[in-house]
Amino acid sequence: MGIERVKIITGYLILALGAFSMLFPFIWMLLTSFMNQEQIFSYPPILLPNPFILDNYKNIFEKIPIVKYFFNSAVVSVLTTLGQVIVSSMAAYAFARLNFKYRELIFFVFLATIMVPPQVNIIPLFFLMREFYWIDTFYALIVPGLFGGFGVFLLRQWFKSLPKSLDEAAKIDGCSPLQTYWYIIMPVSLPSIATLAIFTFVSSWNSFMWPLIVTNSDLMRTLPVGIAVFKGSFRETTEWGQLMACAVISVIPVIFIFLLGQKYFIKGIMMGSAKE
């Protein structure tokens, strides 16, 4: 009994150490955002600000339009997530539950797009956005992110695991394929949909390369691009406290979204691992 208890305690200590090692950078970022330059570069290093400085947050709101950056990122991320979920779920439903000619071949070709590096598509996609006169607009920031092979593949695998009796019962009750998709398949697939939504939101929120390419004006920049431009504005000394304050603001929505959907996210992983 004593050996088993030691093993359990050791396991918890290892998990606690791993969790702390992952959380420490975020803790350090948060605490640094309340320090001035002298405290940040003090020797020996200090962990807790003394005193806590709020000027870093005040300064970034005065120096850059961070509220506008935040709003742009929120609009792009929310609309991209909603669009990706709708488009991917409809495509996945067609590939998983409907029978049509060359279904498997089309899906194989569609799946092959996942193996294409995103950098390969940047130049032709940019020219396409230019032809549509979408440069420096929300259209260029949102529309390309609505389509992706990963989301279709993820939801298709989930939809295929659902019993065919659901479709048969819905058909007997007079439901069309669209009604079956919306009223039957989607509600029972909430864990997988939440997983895709979290992945899409985080990816869109942290996206840097594409928003950097298709935005020109300060009013259309997203938060990652705005922070990068703000860092580039330093001439002699980098204001690390202000940069950490920007980073804290940028990471809050990601943490909130994960906490909001973690129940479904974890449920989706556990149910997926239990399927045969």
What is the C-alpha to C-alpha distance for residues 257 and 92, in angstroms, rounded to an integer?
24
* Average pLDDT for 243-248: 92
Confidence at residue 41, expressed as pLDDT on a 0 to 100 scale: 86
The CATH number of whichever domain residue 149 belongs to comes to: 1.10.3720.10
Q: Is residue 37 part of a domain?
A: no
What is the C-alpha to C-alpha distance for residues 149 and 117, in angstroms, rounded to an integer?
12
Residue 182 has pLDDT above 80, yes or no: yes
Q: What percent of the chain has pLDDT over 70?
A: 95
Residue 268 has pLDDT above 70, yes or no: no
Confidence at residue 275, expressed as pLDDT on a 0 to 100 scale: 46
Q: Is residue 20 part of a domain?
A: no
Domain extent, residue 212, equals: 54-274
Q: Is residue 35 part of a domain?
A: no
155: tokens are: 């939801």
Q: Which amino acid is at 42?
A: S
Higher pLDDT, 107 or 267: 107
Confidence at residue 173, expressed as pLDDT on a 0 to 100 scale: 86
Q: Is residue 30 part of a domain?
A: no
Q: pLDDT tens digit string along 188-237? A: 888 889 889 999 999 999 999 999 999 998 889 999 999 998 887 776 77
- Total number of domains constituting the chain: 1
Q: Is residue 27 part of a domain?
A: no
Q: Is residue 111 part of a domain?
A: yes
What is the C-alpha to C-alpha distance for residues 103 and 94, in angstroms, rounded to an integer?
9
Q: Is residue 25 part of a domain?
A: no
Q: Is residue 46 part of a domain?
A: no
Range scoring the smallest mean pLDDT among 7-11, 27-31, 221-225: 7-11
Q: pLDDT tens digit string along 117-155? A: 888 889 999 999 999 999 999 999 999 999 888 899 989
Confidence of residue 271 (pLDDT cuts 50, 70, 90): low
